[in-house]
Amino acid sequence: MYSRGNSPSWSKRFFSFFIFCAVLSGICFGLWKLEKKYYFFTDNHEYDLIIDKIARKHNIDPLLIKAVIWRESKFDVLSRGGKGEIGLMQIMPKSATRASVVEDWERATGNKITSEGNLFYPETNIDIGTWYLSKAIKHWPDYKFKEHLALCEYNAGKGNVNKWIRADTSKQIPPLEKDQSILKKVTSRDGNTYDRVIFPSTKLYVQAIMVKYHYYRSLENE
> DSSP 3-state assignment of 179?
coil
State how far the alpha carbon of 40 is from the alpha carbons of 182, 192, 217, in Å: 14, 28, 14
User: What residues does 187 pair with on adjacent strands?
Assistant: 192
What is the pLDDT confidence band of residue 58, given thresholds at 50, 70 and 90?
very high
For 62-71, how does the pLDDT look when each residue is reduced to its tens digit (9 = 90+)?
999 999 999 9
Average pLDDT over residues 39-46: 69
Question: Among the options 72, 85, 147, 220, which is catalytic?
Answer: 72
Judge whether 167 and 118 are in contact, CB under 8 Å. no
Integer Cα distance of 78 and 192 in angstroms: 38
For 134-165, how does the pLDDT look when each residue is reduced to its tens digit (9 = 90+)?
999 998 888 878 899 999 999 999 888 888 87
pLDDT at 6 over 70: no
pLDDT at 173 over 50: no
DSSP designation for 99: -
Higher pLDDT, 172 or 77: 77
Integer Cα distance of 61 and 213 in angstroms: 10
What is the pLDDT confidence band of residue 166, given thresholds at 50, 70 and 90?
confident
How many CB atoms are located within 10 Å of the residue 106 CB? 15
What value does the mean pLDDT of the chain take? 79
**Active-site residue, 153 included:** no
Assessment of whether the complete model's pTM goes beyond 0.95? no
Of all residues in the chain, the percent with pLDDT exceeding 70 is: 69
Question: Can you give the residue ranges of every domain in the chain?
Answer: 11-41, 48-221
pLDDT at 32 over 60: no
pLDDT of residue 184: 41
Integer Cα distance of 158 and 135 in angstroms: 11
The residues, ordered by sequence, that sit 6+ positions from 158 with a Cβ below 8 Å of its Cβ are: 136, 139
* CATH code assigned to 48-221: 1.10.530.10
